[in-house]
Chains A and B, each alone.
Chain A
Amino acid sequence: AQTVTQSQPEMSVQEAETVTLSCTYDTSESDYYLFWYKQPPSRQMILVIRQEAYKQQNATENRFSVNFQKAAKSFSLKISDSQLGDAAMYFCAYRSATGTASKLTFGTGTRLQVTL
């Protein structure tokens, strides 16, 4: 079974600074997707960014980018120019690319605080 590990329960960053959230995973599969989801205080899960395992190029979405190291099974999220609205729980997630009903496996989450 796949596992996703987020070793940082809490992180803090100053507004306008950059922060990196860590995620490692364990799988024997070669084809899969990785995701970062944001859960603000409203509890609505929001997709931040996704990465296909077969792509070597790291995904980028505006201020959000990932460092995907397939051999190391590492998938970190970098938030640049942090904003107060970035404060939330961030979950790393894994999903097999096999089958349309494949499940998301979530990490335990990292709570990000953004300070002035």
Chain B
Amino acid sequence: GAVVSQHPSRVICKSGTSVKIECRSLDFQATTMFWYRQFPKKSLMLMATSNEGSKATYEQGVEKDKFLINHASLTLSTLTVTSAHPEDSSFYICSARVTSGIYNEQFFGPGTRLTVL
């Protein structure tokens, strides 16, 4: 199956700094990528949907100035958490959707655990 990678897998940062998480589709092109946030023992919460070459669409309640999403190519999307605070600590998961096939299959990255001190 298609592979989605995320980097880094874990990051610890100080409060007030910015952190960038990369999401790559390794063996397919994805016009649409999704970013999720998952709290412990909870479900995935969609933060935003990004399409290559255009601005991301953010879900209600997600601060777009705080969670900057860039989808510069068909294989790369980045999420930057700006001025991170301890409440931003969470598990962030990206997902990429293939553009071919009838199902438009969606594949998930392994996630990034962010800890803000």
Contact status B110-A100, CB under 8 Å: no
Q: How many A-B pairs fall under 8 Å by CB? A: 44
A88, chain B: closest CB distance, angstroms: 13
A33 interface residue per 8 A CB criterion = yes
Q: How large is the interface on A (under 10, 10 to 19, 20 to 34, 35 or more residues)?
A: 10 to 19
- Report Cα–Cα, A103/B46, bound state, in Å: 8
| CB-based contact B34/A103 at 8 Å | yes
> A109 to B104, alpha carbons, bound, how many Å?
23
Check B43–A109 contact: CB distance below 8 A: yes
Q: Note all chain A residues with C-beta closer than 8 A to B42.
A: 108-109
Contact, CB under 8 Å: B31 / A44: no
Asked whether any CB of chain A lies closer than 8 Å to the CB of B32, the reply is yes
- Which residues of chain B have a CB within 8 Å of any CB of chain A? 31-32, 34, 38, 41-44, 46, 49, 51, 91, 93, 95, 97, 99, 103-106, 108, 110-111
User: What are 15 A-B residue pairs whose CB atoms fall within 8 Å in the complex?
Assistant: A33-B103, A43-B111, A44-B111, A45-B93, A45-B95, A46-B108, A95-B106, A100-B32, A100-B97, A101-B51, A101-B97, A103-B49, A104-B34, A104-B95, A104-B106
